[in-house]
Chains A and B, each alone.
Chain A
Amino acid sequence: MSADSSTGIAIGARHPRMERALFLYAPLAFALLFLVGPFYWMLITALKPDSDLYDPTSSPLYVSAPTLEHFRYLFERTDFVLWLQNTMIVATLSTTIALVMGVPAGYALARFRFRFSELIGTSIFVTYLVPTTLLFIPMIHVMVQFGLDDSIWSLVVVYPTFLVPFVTWLMSGYFRTIPTELEDCARVDGMTRIGAMLKIAIPLARPGILSAAIFSFTLSWNEFIYALTLVTASTERTIPVGVLVQLTRADVYFWGPLMAGALLGSIPVAIVYSFFVDQYASGLTAGAVKG
């Protein structure tokens, strides 16, 4: 964030302008085209009438007659509103569960020494690294046993399996950076251990909890394989699965509504993210550095 630019590369003194253009702006333009270009393409496709979309003579790069017909199709002819609602419910509830379980567990692992605490910490970290694609087949069976198959509640129960390890790991790292003195003082003054955690440590850890919450929310919003395999009724689907399954049926692709759905489905996470860019970046880094 500072004005420091001494990574030790490029920017020299002899031909500063040309060097900047060559080593900074040219690669930057390429990176933006590659990374952000597809979203521009998504946006203008969603706004183009079908007559333009499938006309090879019209230039694909801009919209001459924007229309909302694809969005109307999405709302009137598909279950998009239900998918949106389902995704909201699943993401909110599983994030809440992840925080309620993960924050205290992270605190305990950071502060207390008890038998097997090392082993438990390591196991939680290992489950954070275990990919969901390893367990989706048996998970269907387990959800049937729990009586939760084919409903969004199975997702509310299953998402914490990858959110909780992440939150616990992130938070135990965060609590370790908070000095224990304040909690010690409060306990000398007669506060209980639980009181010290709830009234002192957790409020101090608010930035870390916020990162964990944003992460958990976007991870559940984006989840795909469990949402695809645990839920099959169209009315119980989440946005990523609904958009993909209903708008790319039987090799007939509804490109306009597909792009409109992809765009609308991305906007909520993009908004959450735009408010908390810095927390997001620091959460990413903390997650990577510490785990």
Chain B
Amino acid sequence: MTATSRAAGASPRRRLSDLLEQERVLGYVLVGPVVILLLALVAYPFVVAVGYALSSRTIADPGVFIGFENFVYLWESQIYRRTVRNTCLFTLGSVTIRIVLGVSLALILNEMFPFRRLVRASVLLPWIVPTVLGTMAWLWMFNPNFSVINWALVNFGLVSQGPNWLTDPDLALFSVTLVNAWRGTPFMAVVVLAALQAIPNELYEAATIDGAGKFQRFRYVTLPLVMPVLLTALVLSIIWTFSDFGIVYGLTRGGPMNSTHVLATLSYEAGLRAGNIGEGAAISLTMLPALLVLIVWQLRRIRRSAI
């Protein structure tokens, strides 16, 4: 078949279709457009970002090469240091709440109760709905004058006057962290739930026959089988929270008194609002080391599970 077509195949069209029969050629043809897109719109902007970060560029002035001056300046800046601290607390706090609530919710949703499907579908809403739009509901619930949370706290007699969720510099970071956790919890819950449902019942039966109690079944059957999925969801959650922009921007724009700035919002503030493009690019690039550690760790985990 191929022999005859080759013999007859002097026409260019034949030769092209023969070429496309080769795994190697067709592979490049199908993957090529993706590679070109990512080179042009991920790799190239990344190179531009590095160039900016090493320059004194502003909105008004293309600037000159200044080496690591932007980074040295950031290292000495109080606001930047505070922002790094905020970003770490924001990530750590949010991810902790996500795991505690997400895993509990998954365990609950794995039980039978009326309207389970409806409940499962509706708890995913915070994850589905555009983050910034959902955040607007919280902005309104945290409103100093008309906060429904404070109304409830006062009416239940828990406090005489509600706290200033977003305008108190000591509380604002907690509030934005809570909203971030609100958004991320459903993801954790659904992923863990799927892992729970994938555990064959026979394993629990076997464990019971072997005399394992409830706690032991959880410890030696459920936990080890859910762990790999939980770890992956954890890595993704850390990456997304660490680099999050919309929630802080939507709630506080980094205020009050820079008490809620995270790296992404500070980068926007310095790079675009204040117009110091070089400084802004440098701020967002400082996310890279932490991200790289997480990405490499995740890659190695995938490799290991593939073997």
> Which A residues contact B (CB, under 8 angstroms)?
1-12, 24-25, 27-28, 31-32, 34-36, 38-39, 41-42, 45, 53-54, 56, 60-61, 101-102, 104-105, 107-109, 112-115, 117, 120, 122-127, 129-139, 141-142, 157-158, 160-161, 164-165, 168, 190, 192-194, 218, 221-222, 224-225, 228-229, 239-241, 243-244, 248, 253, 255, 258-259, 261-262, 265-266, 269-270, 273-274, 277, 280-282, 284-285, 288-291
Contacts and interface: CB of A to CB of B under 8 A. Distances in A.
11 contacts: A7-B196, A28-B113, A32-B123, A60-B146, A108-B31, A133-B245, A137-B272, A137-B277, A224-B130, A225-B268, A240-B246
A270 B121 CA distance: 10
B254 to A, nearest CB: 14
Nearest to A4: B201
B299 A126 contact: yes
B119 interface: yes
Contact of B35 (A120, A136, A241, A291): A120
Nearest to A274: B121
B295 A258 contact: no
Interface of B: 1, 17, 20-21, 23-24, 26-28, 30-31, 33-35, 37-38, 41-42, 44-46, 48-49, 52, 101, 104-105, 107-108, 110-113, 117, 119-126, 128-134, 136-141, 143, 145-146, 148, 151, 182, 185-187, 190-191, 193-197, 201, 204, 214-218, 221-222, 228-229, 232-233, 236, 239-240, 242-246, 249-250, 263-264, 267-268, 271-272, 277, 280-281, 284-285, 287-288, 291, 294-295, 298-299, 302
B37 A160 contact: yes
A285 B239 CA distance: 17
A135 B46 contact: yes
Contacts of A258: 136, 140
B243 A131 contact: yes
Contacts, number: 311
B121 A39 contact: no
B99 to A, nearest CB: 14
Nearest to B133: A262
B220 to A, nearest CB: 9
B20 A288 contact: no
Contacts of B218: 7-9
A258 B130 CA distance: 14
